[in-house]
Structure 1
Amino acid sequence: MEAGPDVPALVRELTRRADPARLRHDVEYLADRPRGRTHAPEAMARAETHVAARLAEAGWRTERQPFDVRWRPGTTDRPVGGSLSPRRVRLHRRLTGANLLAEPPDLGDRPAVLVGAHLDTVVDSPGADDNASGVAALLEVARLLGGLPEPPAVRLACFDMEELGFVGARAVARAARHGRRVTGMLCLESVGCFADGPGTQAMPAGFGALFRDAAGAVRARDRRGDFTLVVHRRSSDAAADLWRRAAGAADPPLPVVTLRDPRPDGPLGTLAGLAVPPVNHLGRSDHAAFWSAGVPAVLLTGTANFRNPRYHRPTDTPDTLDYPRLTAVAVATAVTAALWRPYGHRR
């Protein structure tokens, strides 16, 4: 099956079955309070139970995978300085958490594309955009793909401790590197905030000089924050193109800005960020753990604090999100996960 001709038809089919009210319900349930394994464990357990139940209802086989790591470099989940401030860096003596992983009942050991989103928040923020929006989109992807006559080779992951330094994602990425069961990864990060007014989209310092095409696309939109940013590398070019085409087939079309991170996958790409600090903004979520493990990955984002003034604040609440456009994000992600065939992937 060729991906090209199938994109518009699959978008139409999944859009008919998608429901913005379901996404809103999931966001409202998850984002009624802060949640985190270390600062709000009861809320985190409540959110985890909700996600597991929704995945099971959609027909996915769900497994809770605990992890226990020691002396792990990471970040604090408390609002200290900017997102890349050295003041956020921490050495965690011990972290105990768990990821939720799900797959279709008959997938077995076949290689698959992984769709992931993190469940935790920073202290004192209910995290509607960051990242109940991503989790709600992931749950809609589960419903949409689970309803296909032949569910594709896709796995889902709800990550723990993203705010502490991608701790849960690193555990999954390590397993993916050794087990070869994940051939590509799509990361849903802060995907529910859209701003249509001119000047509502900011860019990091040095961004325009490093990424002229993407910066030009933002300026051409009069700096309106009405698009989804798709960050990819050469290894995931095809996924970025699929996602852009799927978003363009939505009704109305969902604007997209694509940005290729020039670094290679693997440890060398991680080290390159030390030489050119502005590119580290491109690795600010769980996809970075998969890049480091050599797994092709794509970041899908509304750019977090560069658009959303409520980022990491108590005001990041469900009433501030755009649910029709969040639904379009979920549909485009489901289409991409179903059709993307990373190198070495056999369906």
Structure 2
Amino acid sequence: MYKFKILIGFLSFLITVYNSASAQSDTTLIRSHLKTLTKTPQFRNHSNIDQLNLTADYIRTVFKKSTDSVLVQEYDVDQKTYKNIICSFGTENKKRIIVGAHYDVCGDQEGADDNASGVTGLLELSRLLKGKKLNYRIDLVAYTLEEPPYFRTEFMGSYIHAKSLKESNAEVFGMISLEMIAYFKDDAKSQSYPLGILSVKYGNKGNYITLVKKFGSGEFVNQFSKNFKATKSILTKTFASPPSLPGIDFSDHLNYWKFGYDAMMITDTSFYRNKNYHQKTDTMETLDIPRMAKVIDGVYSGLTSLK
């Protein structure tokens, strides 16, 4: 029996290694998704409900190529119906992980980095996860209404989703928010911080991806962060601070914190680096697709390496 248990453990290890090693995001598909999400007749903001619906339909169609478990979570705001799109893998597992990104934009702009990049990450993850043996259920969630005027309100798609998990007593191991994952610069002084002294530790080049967590994070955040960094797919820095520090909760993970879930954000640091933030200049032409692909590979490997 002891030898049998050792054999089972070894086989499980080999499966994990295979799943991690086989991750390779497709930059051609990434470009195609980014183009579809950003080069649209209307801007995908809260006022253009028809465009939001078209975007939601596209996300749903891509998700359905990888899994039959796809759900549309609808809710009403100001007599309009908005949609979160959810797809699931490893549904035989009770404990789940949420990976989310918002597909709406702030105002009249394409929102390539913010946050077509994060949504494209979800779409590519769905392809990579197809048919994989997983230790946890993984729900990929594309949220609506993250941006103003609904940011920090109960109308955020992520608030609606996190609340539904709590109300259904879902067993959630943790949550990851993909928030702007595609803007990189190797130039000196291309990276700023909420506190200038942080440049001494993190450097002044915007050439890395950041794993953002709050002090006192739990097992999921710490284990995933360790796994992500171990892949060495891309230069990675971990940033931990109190939630009160400006920017640390500027995305959908904040709502999972509200409901007591272990959550984190993966980001290129948003406006601390990308000056196209919430501007018409936030276009896919400004993005670093190869490094974005490496971020997605890191997420995939970090997830599939969890025990």
Scaled to the shorter chain, the TM-score interval is 0.7 to 0.9
Aligned position for 1:285? 251
Find the partner of 1:228 among 206, 209, 215. Answer: 209
* 1:178 matches 2:167: yes
Letter of the 1:227 counterpart = Y
Alignment of 1:162-201 (within 5 A): 162-163=146-147, 164-165=150-151, 167-181=156-170, 182-201=172-191
Gaps of 5+ in 2: 1-8
Shift of 1:9: 5.2
Match in the other structure for 1:217: 201
Residue number among 48, 51, 56 corresponding to 1:40 in the alignment? 48
Matched, 1:242 2:229: no
Deviation at 1:323, TM superposition (A): 1.2
1:7 Cα offset (Å):
7.1
RMSD, aligned α-carbons: 2.7
1:300-339 alignment runs, 5 A limit: 300-339=266-305
Please state how far the C-alpha of 1:12 moved relative to its aligned partner.
Answer: 2.1
Equivalent residue, structure 1, for 2:101:
117
- 1:23-76 Cα distance to aligned partner (Å, 9 max, x none): 11101110114644532222211211111010001124211111235xxxxxxx
Q: Give the corresponding residue for 1:25.
A: 32
Amino acid at match of 2:270: A
Q: Does the C-alpha gap of structure 1 residues 183 and 176 become closer, same or farther in structure 2, counting only changes over 3 Å?
A: farther
More helix by percentage: 1
The residue number in structure 1 matching 2:69 is: 61
Give the match for residue 129 of structure 2.
145
Identical pairs, percent: 24
In 2 relative to 1, CA 178–334 (structure 1 residues): closer, same or farther, beyond 3 Å? same
CA distance in 2, matches of 1:332, 1:35: 30
Question: 2:4 aligned with 1:14, yes or no?
Answer: no
Moved more, 149-158 or 21-30: 149-158
Write the distance in 2 (CA, Å) between the matches of 1:237 and 1:57: 32
Q: Residues 148, 302 of structure 1: CA spacing in aligned structure 2 closer, same or farther, 3 A cutoff?
A: same
Cα displacement (A) at 1:216: 3.6
The residue that corresponds to 1:97 in the other structure is: 82
Change (3 A) 1:259 1:8: farther
Deviation at 1:194, TM superposition (A): 0.7
Asked whether the equivalents of residues 37 and 44 of structure 1 are also in contact (C-alpha less than 8 Å), the reply is: yes
What secondary structure is seen at the aligned counterpart in 2 of 1:329?
A: helix
Out of 228, 234, 243, the position equivalent to 1:254 is 234
Q: In the aligned structure 1, how far is the partner of 2:15 from the partner of 2:134?
A: 15
* SS class of match (2:23): helix
Q: In 2, are the aligned partners of 1:305 and 1:311 still within 8 Å (CA)?
A: yes
Aligned residues of 1:60 and 1:142 also touching (Cα < 8 A): no
For residues 111-160 of structure 1, the C-alpha deviation after alignment (integer angstroms, 9 at most, x for no partner) is 21011000000111100000000000111111111142558411110001
